[in-house]
């Protein structure tokens, strides 16, 4: 049996938040009938470094991937050149995956679940209306979420406080249907 580990950007610097990150991504992938091991790494550079170490230490029937926010539109055909990261010697294009421009773009594929999570006084019409979720800028995503949630009982959107709970609830199939990069990740995991 093949074991897949994903080194994920997210979870900040606390064990509690890293646990929430692992749980959120695990629930998301479970909806796609996938069960990779999730390692929440905090920062993007920590995720990259963790991935590089994991890649060096792989055993037979083990694979690892790197999943990070792109932070900006991905314009280079080589994913490794997007960040000008040094591609590890034995890595391929299939090892690096992006949430474009950030994880919150995935929420825009299932706005109804986000609205249900926040409940009364959620202003869905203030969210970005672009149906091409990978074309929504990070600043527009955060601004829209802040405006939509500011009057809810849960309070304004919180990257750590709400993000991974929402991730665990959204429809993963809607995300892969609306994001070419999420579909690329899904297809890579299916192939492994």
Helix (H) or strand (E) holding 183: helix 180-191
Average pLDDT over residues 137-155: 97
Cβ pair 64, 71 in contact under 8 A: no
**Whole-number pLDDT of residue 2:** 86
**Whole-number pLDDT of residue 109:** 98
Q: Among 4-13, 82-91, 92-101, whose mean pLDDT is lowest?
A: 82-91
**Whole-number pLDDT of residue 161:** 83
**Whole-number pLDDT of residue 68:** 98
d(CA 176, CA 99): 11
**Whole-number pLDDT of residue 173:** 98
Diameter of the chain by CA atoms?
Answer: 52
Q: What is the pLDDT of residues 164-181, one digit of tens each?
A: 999 999 999 999 999 999
pTM here is 0.96
How many Å separate Cα 76 from the centre of its chain? 20
Average pLDDT over residues 131-146: 96
What is the chain's percent helix, strand, coil content, to nearest 5? 50, 10, 40
**Whole-number pLDDT of residue 160:** 82
Tell me the percentage of the chain whose pLDDT exceeds 70. 100
| Sheet of 96-99, strand order | 37-40, 3-8, 62-69, 96-99
**Whole-number pLDDT of residue 41:** 97
Distances (CA, A) of 7 to 23, 87, 122: 14, 15, 33
Return mean pLDDT, the chain: 95
Is pLDDT at 39 greater than 90 in this prediction?
Answer: yes
Q: Tokens at residue 49, please?
A: 């470094």
**Whole-number pLDDT of residue 27:** 98
Q: What is the pLDDT of residues 102-129, one digit of tens each?
A: 999 999 999 999 999 999 999 999 999 9
Average pLDDT over residues 72-99: 92
d(CA 58, CA 76): 28
Task: Specify the DSSP class assigned to residue 58.
Answer: P
Task: Quote the strand ranges of the chain, DSSP E.
Answer: 3-8, 37-40, 62-69, 96-99
Q: How confident is the model at residue 92 (pLDDT cuts 50, 70, 90)?
A: very high
- Of residues 8 and 158, the one with the higher pLDDT is 8
């Amino acid at each position: 049996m093949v074991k897949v580990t994903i080194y994920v950007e997210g979870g900040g610097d606390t064990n509690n938040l890293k646990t929430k990150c692992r749980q959120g991504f695990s629930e998301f992938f479970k909806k796609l009938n996938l069960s990779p091991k999730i390692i929440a790494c905090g920062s993007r550079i920590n995720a990259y470094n963790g991935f590089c170490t994991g890649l060096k230490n792989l055993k037979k029937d083990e694979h690892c991937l790197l999943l990070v926010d792109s932070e900006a539109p991905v314009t280079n055909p080589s994913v490794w050149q997007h960040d000008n990261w040094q591609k590890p010697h034995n890595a391929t294009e299939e090892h690096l995956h992006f949430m474009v421009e950030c994880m919150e773009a995935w929420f825009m594929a299932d706005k109804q679940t986000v609205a249900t999570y926040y409940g009364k006084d959620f202003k869905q019409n203030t969210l970005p209306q672009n149906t091409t979720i990978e074309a929504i800028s990070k600043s527009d995503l955060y601004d829209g979420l802040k405006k939509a949630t500011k009057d809810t009982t849960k309070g304004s959107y919180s990257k750590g406080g709400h993000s991974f709970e929402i991730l665990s609830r959204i429809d993963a199939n809607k995300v892969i249907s609306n994001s070419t990069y999420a579909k690329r990740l899904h297809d890579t995991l299916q192939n492994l």
